[in-house]
Amino acid sequence: MRVTIRDVARLAGVAVSTASLALNNKKRVSDATRKKVIEAARKLNYYPSSIARRFALNKTHTIALCAFISRDRPLGGFYMPVIQGIIDTVSANDYSFQLDIKGEYLNSSTKREILTRLARHRMVDGLLILSHWPLQVKEVLDLEQMNFPYVVVDGHISGINVNCVEMDNFAGAAKMVEYLIGLGHRKIGFVTGPSNQQSSIERIRGYQEALRKNSIDYDKDLVYTGDFHKKSGREGIKYLLSLPSPPSAVFFANDNMAIAAMKVIKEKGLKIPDDISIAGFDDIEAASQIDPPLTTVKQPLYRMGEEAAKLLFHLLNSKEDKPQRILLDTELVIRESCKEYRS
């Protein structure tokens, strides 16, 4: 028997009109109710029959990566290994690959429109979504309603269970801070990423947890809020070095900021790691090439792209409807930018 909007409303415990408003993203419905209706629609595999017929008839044998990232930033460093992992997996499955870079500063309605258009007009069989900023439920609302296969890369969506592949940023940051503490550092500065970005929030939590476990008080003066860009790395280290009692080690939430900061440190006549230890996160190619080579947290970026594409193909080839979250481990890469601290 065909599922209708009435079935969705009944399961969600709301009126039919409310369910309709929620699925059409009208503002008159609260976020809590909207999430409840989306979950009900997903459980019942509800989406319009006209779209269902079109989906059954068409196959493009194409996978798209829709990337909401800055057009001004090069694809190398963080993004290229992820994309390469996706491309290799897509090719191995005899599918074509489409890369769509849309820019990171789009509003939610525009993002939703872009994703919906790809799905509704059946341009691709499945979507991989990579976003510099956290995705919101309303941006994938139509994909959910259509039961369109998609996987979030390097993140998740708060308030709804989705298929996603991401790093264990919390454990990675905690491991690095534990390592610095093991070298004798007790005053450890931290230059974070954006305070509203998922990976950055997890790294901040990891930093705090490592301090707590080692009975070191959290000092907000030792934390500088950056944005993952090189400029904030430079500004962050200038701030930390200007403190009356500067830290003996500084952990940066990504390698880009750490590398930019290392140049500032050298310009000030200080030596790394003799005067200050520096650590990063990502293990981009430049991390091993700078002098001294940067101690960092390695993210398996290629594998993240590979696992995301594999998960999407699994969705295309099976009827499993329970969302999967794949969490990838990180590892410490010990190089020459950190040393034992002796007071």
CATH of the domain at 220: 3.40.50.2300
Number of domains in the chain: 3
Give domain status of residue 50, yes or no.
no
What does the pLDDT read at residue 27?
A: 65
Residue 7 predicted with pLDDT over 60: yes
Q: Which of 171, 186, 164, 174 is nearest to 307 (CA)?
A: 164
**Strand ranges (E), the chain:** 62-68, 96-101, 126-131, 150-153, 164-167, 188-192, 223-225, 249-252, 277-279, 296-298, 325-328, 331-333
Residue 157 has pLDDT above 80, yes or no: yes
Domain assignment of residue 109, yes or no: yes
Domain that holds residue 157: 58-165+302-328
Distance of CA 339 to the CA centre of its chain: 30
- What single string gives the DSSP state of each residue in 201-270? HHHHHHHHHHHHHTT----GGGEEE--SSHHHHHHHHHHHHTSSS--SEEEESSHHHHHHHHHHHHHTT-
Regarding whether 255 and 106 lie in a shared domain, the answer is no
At residue 268 the predicted structure's pLDDT band, cuts being 50, 70 and 90, is very high
**Are 88 and 293 in contact, with CB atoms under 8 Å apart?**
no
For residue 122, name the pLDDT band (cuts at 50, 70, 90). Answer: low
- Whether residue 51 is contained in a domain is answered as no
User: Is 156 among the domain residues?
Assistant: yes
Same domain, 295 and 310: no
3-state DSSP assignment of residue 292: coil
Tell me, yes or no, whether 98 lies in a domain: yes
Structural domain contains residue 288: yes
Phi and psi at residue 231, to the nearest 5°: -55, -40
Are 212 and 256 in the same domain? yes
Statement: residue 143 has pLDDT above 50: yes
Please determine, for residue 57, whether its predicted confidence score (pLDDT) is greater than 50.
no
Question: Cα Rg for the chain, rounded, in angstroms?
Answer: 23
Task: Please indicate, yes or no, whether residues 180 and 291 belong to a single structural domain of this protein.
Answer: yes
Q: Are residues 121 and 225 in the same domain?
A: no
DSSP code for 191: E
Q: What is the mean pLDDT of residues 154-183?
A: 94
**Amino acid letter, 291:** D
Q: What is the model's pLDDT at position 59?
A: 74
Residue 328 has pLDDT above 90, yes or no: yes
Q: Is residue 227 part of a domain?
A: yes
| pLDDT category of residue 26 using cuts at 50, 70 and 90 | low
Mean pLDDT across the chain? 88
pLDDT at 49: 47
Q: Does residue 15 sit in the same domain as residue 65?
A: no
pTM score above 0.85 = no
Report if residue 260 sits inside a domain.
yes
